[in-house]
Amino acid sequence: MRRTFARRTAVIGSAALLLLGPAVAIAQAEPETEPAQTSSLPAELVEALQRDLNIDAERFLADAQRSQDLAAFAEKAREQFEAVFAGVWLDDQGTATVGLTEGDGFEEARKAAEDAGFTVAETERSEDALEDQLGALGDWLETQPPAVADVIRGIAIDVVNNDVVVRTDNVSGVELPDFLDGVRVLFAPAELTPEGATDLQPIAGGLGAPDALFGGDAYAALGAGEGLRCSLGFNAEDGNGRPVNITAGHCDPNRAQAGTRWASQVHQLVGDNLGQHLGSFEKTVLDRSDYALIRPSAEAAARFENNGVRVPFAAPLTITGVADPVVGAPVCKSGLRTGYSCGVVTATGQNVEIGHRVLENGFSTNLCALQGDSGGTLVTGTLALGISSASNVGQYGMCEIAGFVSGLLGESPELFATPIKTVLAENPGLKVRTW
């Protein structure tokens, strides 16, 4: 059966790949109204911002909030200025930009954008026109034999360059139709799996319930005779007020049994050893999205009743709300393998093939993530943004090596994620913890 890339409605960006682990959340629907204080950012996060983005904590928080202002404007502009709206993004200097194309309503749209404090960039095509081109590509793929269709691994809109991007295994011998003449073609990354954990041994005791567990901390998932190392995601509450953790679906080694008495079991990782039994997988999704909900055991539940994200065993960043991915927005991920790494959102609303499945409406970043970082958190400012899912450099042992090798190939590290708002929308009553 040939895969297809479904059409989507709000697209902004370019393309990339990586696989990681599961968590659930408690959250407010809107970002906080008062700006976070720079002193609230952990030292490890501030160091990563300076190392990876060459920006300070103040710029990080300001750009994060600005990206959400853009997201709110875009939601309205798509309805009010449909004919001319061409997307939103932050440029390299953090300038909040609205793309507009010539047509009916252009001047009105320009005034609205500038009155809101945004810079206007004139583009050749509207977002609707680019989506039509994307749909035409999908229709064309449906008519192609597997030898052609199966090399296409993803399609997306690059809002900054106002064009369409095709992700492919190998472009040799593939002739795109005339209506896609000039489209950018990028290579697809290989599938990444969570780090194996078959050599883990239990230790006596473990950490007690008063010791909180945060997003980014390590856990082991044991099921179906397999063990996987992954990172906790955002702590959350379900509709009944019970704690859960939102992590990656591919971190569950026995997905078909999630929510049953045969579900994969979750243990804290203490170095290379198993610590306290933490709970089990209650829900696992690996079709279109990539997330899972971990239900803590009664003995471990109190350890998840917090809103923190951290480098394992360091001071946490407190999560104050949830956010939409916006191209150019600063983003940092935490995970057991590489701690904090920071970059920017490079694409949103894209569909990309990962192994034998398609991640729909995901977003990509230029972050390095390695095996074991799966399921960890992505934040912009103090807002929950997404769950780490897939990467094109996960097979390397160090991010320094990954950056060097990918640079030789003319590429850069890429991390794909499932938006946290997608998880919340698919699970009514679920909230990312903000207290």
401 pLDDT higher than 90:
no
Q: What is the pLDDT of residue 20?
A: 33
Question: 137 versus 285: which is more confidently predicted?
Answer: 285
Confidence band (pLDDT; 50, 70, 90) for 108?
very high
Average pLDDT, the chain: 83
User: Which stretch of 168-182, 186-200, 278-292, 330-344 has the lowest confidence by average pLDDT?
Assistant: 186-200
Across 286-340, the runs of DSSP E, i.e. the strands, are: 291-296, 308-309, 317-318, 321-322, 330-333
Would you say residue 265 has pLDDT above 70? yes
Whether the per-residue pLDDT at 72 is higher than 70: the answer is yes
pLDDT band of residue 393 (cuts 50, 70, 90) is: low
* Strand bridging mode 330-333 / 317-318: unpaired
Task: Note the pLDDT tens digit of each residue in 119-170.
Answer: 999 999 999 999 998 888 878 878 878 766 677 777 788 999 998 887 776 5
| CATH code for the part of the protein at 10-61+189-435 | 2.40.10.120
314 DSSP assignment: S
Residue 200: pLDDT over 70 = no
Give residue 352's identity as a one-letter amino acid code.
V
Of residues 191 and 149, the one with the higher pLDDT is 149
pTM of the model as a whole = 0.85
Residue 26: band (very low, low, confident or very high) from pLDDT cuts 50, 70, 90: very low
Average pLDDT over residues 42-67: 97
Q: Which residue has the higher pLDDT, 309 or 410?
A: 309
pLDDT level of residue 190 (50, 70, 90 thresholds): very low
More confident residue, 53 or 408: 53
Q: How far apart are CA 56 and CA 141, in angstroms?
A: 45
Q: H/E element holding 408?
A: helix 399-408
* pLDDT of amino acid 21: 31
Closest CA to 217 of 315, 331, 290: 315
325 confidence band (pLDDT: 50, 70, 90): very high
- pLDDT value at position 217? 96
**Percent of the chain that is helix, strand, coil (3-state, to 5):** 20, 35, 45
pLDDT for 405: 64
* Of 257 and 21, the one with more pLDDT: 257
pLDDT, tens only, 338-378: 899 999 999 998 888 887 788 899 999 999 888 899 999 99
What DSSP element (H or E) covers 283? strand 273-285
Question: Residue 174's pLDDT band (boundaries 50, 70, 90)?
Answer: low
> Is 95 a residue whose pLDDT tops 80?
yes
Domain residue spans of the chain: 10-61+189-435
Higher pLDDT, 356 or 269: 269
Alpha helices in 30-155 (DSSP H): 43-52, 57-80, 106-115, 127-142, 146-149
Catalytic residues, by residue number, are 250, 290, 374
* pLDDT cut 90: percent of the chain above it: 61
Overall average pLDDT of the 84-92 stretch: 97
pLDDT in the model for residue 371:
86
Instruction: Give bridge partners of residue 333 from the DSSP assignment.
Output: 341, 378
Digit-coded pLDDT (tens) for 7-23: 332 222 222 223 333 32
| Nearest Cα to Cα of residue 26 among 247, 245, 281 | 245
Q: Is the pLDDT of residue 98 over 90?
A: yes
For residue 329, pLDDT beyond 60: yes
Q: Is 159 helix (H, G, I), strand (E, B) or coil?
A: coil
List the single range of 181-185, 245-249, 257-261, 306-310 with lowest mean pLDDT. 181-185
Q: 218 or 180: whose pLDDT is higher?
A: 218
User: pLDDT at position 16, please?
Assistant: 27
| Residue 28 in this model has a pLDDT that exceeds 50 | no
Q: Which of 100-114, 298-312, 387-401 has the lowest mean pLDDT?
A: 387-401
